[in-house]
Structure 1
Amino acid sequence: MMEFGRLPNPRAAQALVDYLKSQGIECHQTFLDDVVVLSVVSASDLSAAQAEFARFRQNPLDEKYLAASWESGTTSSHLDYGAPGLSLLSRFITGAGPLTLVIFALCVLVYAALNLGFGDQTFALLSFFGATGTFQASELWRVFTPTLLHFSLMHISFNLLWWWFLGGRIETRIGTKPLLILLLVAGTVPNIAQYFLTGPNFGGLSGVVYAVAGYSWLMGVRKPSAGISLPASYMGFMVLWMVLGFFDVLGLSMANAAHLGGLMVGLLQALWDSRKTR
């Protein structure tokens, strides 16, 4: 059997299994800790199951899933996803992999340190070379660590929402390795470009967010069976936001070179990964 997805709630998993069976796709559920692992019996059904899993994650209350469960005789009158608080936490954890969650937590901790009396020390430790006046060439972490710095609640909220949503999908559906490559490359190379454009005073996960956005969009176009995508309208909005930043129309301090560099990294990696997996 071949795994095509995991869900935090057995009742939700049963609804998807019932629907897939109604479509002629035989699949099984395996209970593992706090999640349900979903697998297909036949390799020929894997792509179709992955695609339907992606649709289910976007709209689990679609009437077609409930109808399929009714026809199989295995449902109550509604899909029960458990207690709202526990369900939300469970979805947050299972909707992302360990790398996604670790970076999410690090950004939150760094933001808290910046705003709870340790701002100067935290910035001095994590900022890019030269941001605090003096630096040593051996402090190589400074090429990456500005990625963890955020200077406003809106800044960190926007970045972490997209990181969890898109990065989490990449990690859970394709693997940790491609996300790690995106993080390391888009979290370093665009920082260097931003330094030469504006100097060392910058920070944020935005370059990586543009990388995972570009990667998700192009993988959805070139390899839909991978189970990740980003609607063209969303991608268009992010590109428009980046272009407006270059022309300083918004009156905001934006790391434009990091955004563009991150987007290029994501698109190039998607071209490579979609070619390899075809």
Structure 2
Amino acid sequence: MLNFVVRRIAAGVLLLFVISFLSYLLLSIPDLDVGRELLGSSAAADLVEAKNAELGLDRSVLAQYADWLSHAVRGDFGASWFTGENVLRSIVNRLPVTVSLMVGVTLVTAVLSLLLGVWAAVRRGPVDRLVQVLGVLGYALPGFLVALIIVVVFAVRLGWFPAIGYIGLDRSPSGWLSTITLPIAALSIAAVAGVSQQVRGSVIDVLRQDYVRTLRSRGLPPSRILFRHVIRNAAAPALTVLGMQFVGLLGGAVLVEQIFGLPGIGDMTVTYTTRGDIPVIMALVMVTAVLVIVVNLIVDILIGWLNPKARVA
């Protein structure tokens, strides 16, 4: 198991390096005169050139990347070109918002998908058809439309939750829960729709296996067969889909944070990308990549624990 984890970590580090290089290369392709953007259209040409030289933009892209990488590996992502704020400090201040959203959506998705998928696979008939219909509807509805409907119904009409804003967990746990509930619900609907269908299909496949029939013939209680054998063997495909959903959720978080006014890294990404602020964008790319790699590592470890054959795959 240790070798399995070490291999996954090594692959993650290599992937981070590749992502950072390709991201920096792609961000440097647009011919953006940062000095002119910072100093204004009326600034003298020599001042613009001096500003670009100060930012290191007069060097080759490879030299700029090497300088960025040498600082990034030490945790120094520099300062924003446009605001002068420390990049890492700005992201750390916003990261708890997005992490709260992602963790909440992942937990809700895992629990509800397991319940709905197993319920549909075991009961079949009308229950199965109902879950499939709900899954199709939940997956087909656009994310922004779901978020707007939730805001109008539960925040504007009923007044149960605030429509926008965020309260930190350290300030007020109840306030944090009230401000994060609707965004989690908006992101969870499509995720539950997708993962629950995978759970349903996996459980049905396992229930058809010969060893399950053997266990039934020996008189084992159905609940014991389901929880000790069926769910464990059906969990691996569902965990894989859940990990893939997490990547999609990061993209959906950008939209949801805009709608609900959450000061997370999704909102920050939109703001600084439109400015072309490479230090901030690169730091956001790396933070996002680390989150995805860590989640996939956790999923791989869980799958390796559930299925030892996956450790040597």
TM-score (norm 2): 0.25
Structure number with higher strand proportion:
1
Larger Rg: 2
Structure number with higher helix proportion:
2
